[in-house]
Structure 1
């Protein structure tokens, strides 16, 4: 059975990949910065990355570990991704690096394709764009999967995006959901299944893997809250400030031709 190494195993996406791996034919090994159930790994430590990859001897690596905020985000997201990419290349392991639609400004009027210009407008987006540069330099054969907001959907544990919408509907958080920031939210198990398929394939470069619907942050929050039976009228919407990405739905047509997994849209997910 081929062996798959998943970085960031305790994360929302990492957990889904690890859970689905055995049924997809993989022997799973996961890493975490600090977690008793997983192999300890700080991706900022190049020597530690080499040590873990050598010890595990994976056939493929899915790199999900990242940092959303803080001073360490660039080191974790960009330098860490470069370390993983270099170690994978040396070990002869297939690398699927998880990237983000946050690398785009969203200043167009159509769904984004793989060849579109990378121009992040947020600090997080800048770290993910730098990660792609680092991965490509260290391992040109790596696949860089650009994805979007993660959702669980009814009957699943909520993602941070869903939890925030639910808290706002209950009056526990004061949140403004942007009406003009358009994203391609994807169900986490759909993304996990797609990543596992792609880990078993050849081919590198960027690939867009998002949900089928382009929705504003407010529209997504309304779907989440409505499906939970809460009052969507509690949600407050407004235009995004200038330092936010705008029209960033992903054109995932190329990915869908390579996948058995159907990339469902959020409307279908929340319709049950």
Structure 2
């Protein structure tokens, strides 16, 4: 199984590359300006906003599967247009496509979101992710769209944000609840989906819903940091428009996949 990881220099992309190589698969990882520090990975430079460059690279690599992890917060061309370019190029060579989406495309509500709940974005990044899904589904109905949540692990931006808040350099919201997932668990799930025929949206997130503030307290406890300096507030008080409570019901993924999706109660035990 020859796998092309678009966005291989990113946090999730690197872990997908690492696990793919460990499984004995030939892996090609793309990067734009960084690097893919994973031994055994063939590295290619790629700007996903350049449609012809994406088509040329995919045609040259001829992968059996493409894992699309690239995005850039606040950049429509990368997040939405780039996803469409990758889907188009993958379809041209008949490659299996696993597209990484996000819970950010939901507005937030008390009830958990099912796999097939339609997007209800309320801020630009969520709208870009929703547009990316629409494009991918239109181009390749057989692609699987992995809707995930906050990705944890060493090197995670989410963990660093918690450390910054504990040091007084950032603020965590008490009214934003998510279902965090470990990067290793998510990468393993992605590689299982590469070798499957699952299609359409699929929630792949942890079973525990926690607020960002609660996540900060968990980081403090694990790392032995006094949480007295933790800066917290609400999104409303901060004047930001972002989804509040977004819980993904990942029960279908739990039934389909061999990998067990651990919650924060295990990750921070």
Structure-1-length-normalised TM-score:
0.92
Instruction: Show the counterpart of 1:40.
Output: 45
Render the CA deviation track for 1:171-190: whole Å, top value 9, x for unaligned.
3x1x2211121101110010
Separation in 2 of the partners of 1:185 and 1:209? 10
SS of equivalent residue, structure 1 residue 165? helix
Instruction: Show the counterpart of 2:107.
Output: 105
Matches within 5 A, 1:60-209: 60-69=65-74, 73-106=75-108, 108-152=109-153, 157-171=154-168, 173=169, 175-209=170-204
1:51 equivalent in alignment to 2:53: no
Instruction: Show the counterpart of 1:258.
Output: 256
Tell whether the 8 Å contact from 1:97 to 1:145 is kept in structure 2 after alignment. Answer: yes
5+ long unaligned stretches in structure 1: none
Q: How big is the shift at 1:79?
A: 0.8
SS of equivalent residue, structure 2 residue 145? strand
SS of equivalent residue, structure 1 residue 21? helix
SS of equivalent residue, structure 1 residue 206? strand
5+ long unaligned stretches in structure 2: 37-42
Structure-2-length-normalised TM-score:
0.93
Render the CA deviation track for 1:46-69: whole Å, top value 9, x for unaligned.
111111111111000100011013
Separation in 1 of the partners of 2:114 and 2:23? 28
Pick which of 11-20 and 238-247 moved more: 238-247
Tell whether the 8 Å contact from 2:166 to 2:216 is kept in structure 1 after alignment. Answer: no
SS of equivalent residue, structure 1 residue 89? helix
Aligned length: 260
Instruction: Show the counterpart of 2:40.
Output: none
Q: How big is the shift at 1:36?
A: 5.6
Tell whether the 8 Å contact from 1:105 to 1:248 is kept in structure 2 after alignment. Answer: yes
Tell whether the 8 Å contact from 2:11 to 2:155 is kept in structure 1 after alignment. Answer: no
Separation in 1 of the partners of 2:72 and 2:3? 22
Change over 3 Å in CA distance of 1:52–1:44 after alignment to 2? same
